Amino acid sequence: MDNLIFCLNATVPVFLMMLLGFLFRRVGFVDKAFADKINGFVFKAALPVLLFQDMSGADFFAQWDGGFVGLCFGVTAVSILSMVLLSHVLSRELRGEFVQASYRSSVALLGVAFLQNIYGTAGAAPLMIIGAVPLYNIAAVLILALMHPDQGGLSRDRLLRTLKKVVTNPILIGIVVGMVWALLRIPQPVILQKSVDSFAGVATPMGLIGLGASVDPEQALAKLKPSLLAVFCKLFLFAAVFLPLAVWLGYRTDKLVTVLIMLASSTTSSSYVMARGQGYDGALTANTILLTTFLSAFTLTGWLYVLRSMGLI
């Protein structure tokens, strides 16, 4: 019972905030445009400040773990390639959407939210973001372009734009600035600390509300069968395959929870925007986002319960 209560305390508050955002959208307190603005503010400002706060105040040499970053990168790469192979069981017009929706997680927001809820800090989330997020973004553009049935492939301009987006990603910038700040041991005056604390404090609740408000059931129900396959891979398959590897490598507590979030959290809502922007109808992606967002409230609780019962977190 104690293990179950621990898991519910970790997951329920996170998904209640998302449910609150969803209800706000349903009753008209928040519309899609405002939800997009919330998500943009969190992505471009609040979350980078939160990650800067965690990195800048840490002992960088004590926290850096190149093996963990390599694990996150390697697992992400294998996950993407495996979904590319699996996508060939589907019709050609669905393959690009399926691959992106299957591997691309809401790691920055949900990873930080879960770790803060359990351990009080972002923990190993910045290291995971360094290992996984640039590859997420680059692979998404490559896959959607190269696997689209009506496009000739990936143009040089599109690739350059993608690389520019990766380099200028606000979340990565926040992490890098925080790392440099910690390496140089730059002092933080009390005024700066309190200002950063106040600003960073809005990132998690506002981000979860914005994420919940972005879920649109009206875009779902189309192309249900391939969406269910993507959901199975996103919430079950990757975790079942790669969590034992992380355990075997010796990762425990916050790092193991970070790997779990990377592998088995809901598909990020930005996947729909990218799919639509590259000429797909987006129905499969919207369906996967909706289903994984709802079902992950239960599946993540289950995964945490298993890990907790085994004494790993």
Dump pLDDT digits (tens) for 88-128: 888 888 888 899 889 988 776 676 777 777 776 666 777 78
Q: What is the CATH number of the domain that holds 200?
A: 1.20.1530.20
Considering its fold, how many domains does the chain have in total?
1
In tens, the pLDDT along 268-302 reads: 777 776 676 667 777 788 788 878 877 887 888 88
**Total Cβ atoms within 10 A of residue 210:** 27
Q: Which residue range forms the structural domain that includes residue 120?
A: 2-309
- Compute the average pLDDT of residues 188-216: 76
Which range, 47-56, 197-206, 223-232, has the best average confidence (pLDDT)?
223-232
Q: Which pTM value belongs to this model?
A: 0.75
Closest CA to 128 of 83, 175, 59: 175
Which range, 133-147, 166-180, 231-245, 257-271, has the best average confidence (pLDDT)?
231-245
Please report, rounded to a whole number, the percentage of residues in the chain having pLDDT higher than 90. Answer: 13
